[in-house]
Structure 1
């Protein structure tokens, strides 16, 4: 990882951390999810640079080494979208591919809808383009103790996480989200109670990886992370035109618990192309929610092949 360089950029009144590698003329911007950070793209960044691309991975505001907004509890997805544009402006990037994972998919597509002239293509992992509002994720179809519903309650996750050190919280979430079932607690449980302390880390995720994540989240905490995405999930895209007329690729792990959201499989296999007509969909057998860390070579090849096809 020593080839990856780190810098801070002044964007929208905050100092945001950006990891960067490669000097190619075509840029790819990697947008992380939760509990991830720039580091979750380490394998893809190095592979993209070796393939001749300039790879950039920011920490979203309030995550990792990036500054928190003054009032984290008021942060919105639109703030993250504006930061993507601000980072591109600061680094003099007129146009880029956007590669996104988990909730990072929302700001990627949001930016593509508002500024299609600055996007060469969108690549998503784990979560496809999703409609704003409750249509795709009706609360009544999910278990009452589903983690997203629990974490939407102000103070609930803070109290749950606060019982443990940051490293254990990140460890537990990685173990939970690596599974193929929806993480949901019983009435008398909290989400952190779902993981037995003796449960090993996934085979592809090392203690060193965990330490790197923990160090970054010890710096940032979870204030902004619980606001965006969990408490702003229903936020709209700021436009009535929800058709993305850009090349797109969606990579879906077949064992990703998100694929088991009610209606999600049917949506990915059908309706999503109404909104993203030029969309390729690829499934990875055995792939978990963290497919880019679990099967990096496979995912690297998919991303680089797609980008080379659409330069």
Structure 2
């Protein structure tokens, strides 16, 4: 961790916080989810660098130590795609392997579709191929009170989160999203109420880790984080006939709550997802939850490095 270097890179009028370790022409760009941040890739960055790659992670605009966009309530996934391409340009990276977790998988897919010449391979964790918009997640099939629906409602999550300090919010979300069931609140409760305050952190997530996350979110707040992904997922981004032709890997924990989204398990297990990613391999981790890269870093690192080495022949 102490070998990871930090800087701010000017991208599209904003300064983005960038973490890097490793050198050389073979680059791997890591894209975080929520409530994650660059720090969620700490284990993978060190391992990938030790394997001979240049590892780069950054805080999305409005997250952590990156600048807020000028109009946070208008931020969207296209902004993230533009930031990724501009960041690669700024860092002198022509092509990269892209690794996305949770909603960070979405811009990974979008970059691979819109700018395939910049992508050597795609690895995603926790989410199979999805493009935001009308054909993405079928919101109408989600249960009433589901966290995505609640957090998409302007002001509701702000009021829910606002009852607690930032550290408590991150603690509750990590505990809640470790579970295998969907996070559904009743009519008279909020999402934060689903976690008993006495519930301990998972054993692989330390108080120091929690402090690191809390410090970063205390800096940025949750305004942009609630907009992207939750409040811009139904926008039409004009992506037609999407297909990722680059070599791809999906790492999915079998105890990940996302497996219980309507139709998702069938979409993966029956290979329907390969209509969009014909060069996709899928690996299910029997005990893995939604934070599989932090839960089982050694195993995930081995899978990532094996994929990178296998597909470096296309360099």
TM above 0.5, yes or no, is yes
Partner of 1:159: 159
- Is 1:77–1:235's contact at 8 Å kept on the other side of the alignment? no
CA distance in 2, matches of 1:156, 1:266: 32
Whether 2:33 is the aligned partner of 1:44: answer: no
CA distance in 2, matches of 1:157, 1:281: 33
Partner of 1:249: 249
Deviations 1:115-139, CA, capped at 9 Å, x for gaps: 1111000000000111433445333
Structure 1 position 49, deviation (Å): 0.3
- Give the 5 Å matches for 1:79-90: 79-90=79-90
Runs ≥4 residues deviating over 6 A: none
Partner of 2:119: 119
Partner of 2:308: 307
- Is 1:110–1:237's contact at 8 Å kept on the other side of the alignment? no
- Give the 5 Å matches for 1:144-223: 144-223=144-223
Other structure's SS at 1:213 match: helix
Structure 1 position 237, deviation (Å): 4.3
CA distance in 2, matches of 1:212, 1:147: 24
CA distance in 1, matches of 2:136, 2:232: 15
- Is 2:63–2:225's contact at 8 Å kept on the other side of the alignment? yes
CA distance in 2, matches of 1:200, 1:115: 43
Q: Which runs of 5+ in 1 are unaligned?
A: none
Partner of 2:137: 137
Partner of 1:287: 288
Structure 1 position 268, deviation (Å): 1.3
Structure 1 position 278, deviation (Å): 0.3
Q: Which runs of 5+ in 2 are unaligned?
A: none
What's the RMSD between the two structures over aligned residues? 1.0
CA distance in 2, matches of 1:104, 1:229: 9
Other structure's SS at 2:234 match: coil
- Is 2:147–2:185's contact at 8 Å kept on the other side of the alignment? yes
CA distance in 1, matches of 2:100, 2:121: 11
CA distance in 2, matches of 1:306, 1:213: 28
Other structure's SS at 1:67 match: coil
Other structure's SS at 1:108 match: helix
TM-score by structure 2 length?
Answer: 0.97
CA distance in 2, matches of 1:71, 1:131: 23
Partner of 2:274: 273
Cα distance change, pair 212–245 in 1 and its aligned pair in 2 (3 A): same
Cα distance change, pair 115–139 in 1 and its aligned pair in 2 (3 A): closer
Structure 1 position 243, deviation (Å): 1.2
Partner of 1:9: 9
Moved more, 233-242 or 102-111: 233-242
CA distance in 2, matches of 1:271, 1:137: 15
- Is 1:24–1:49's contact at 8 Å kept on the other side of the alignment? no
Deviations 1:258-279, CA, capped at 9 Å, x for gaps: 0111100011122110000000
Other structure's SS at 1:124 match: strand
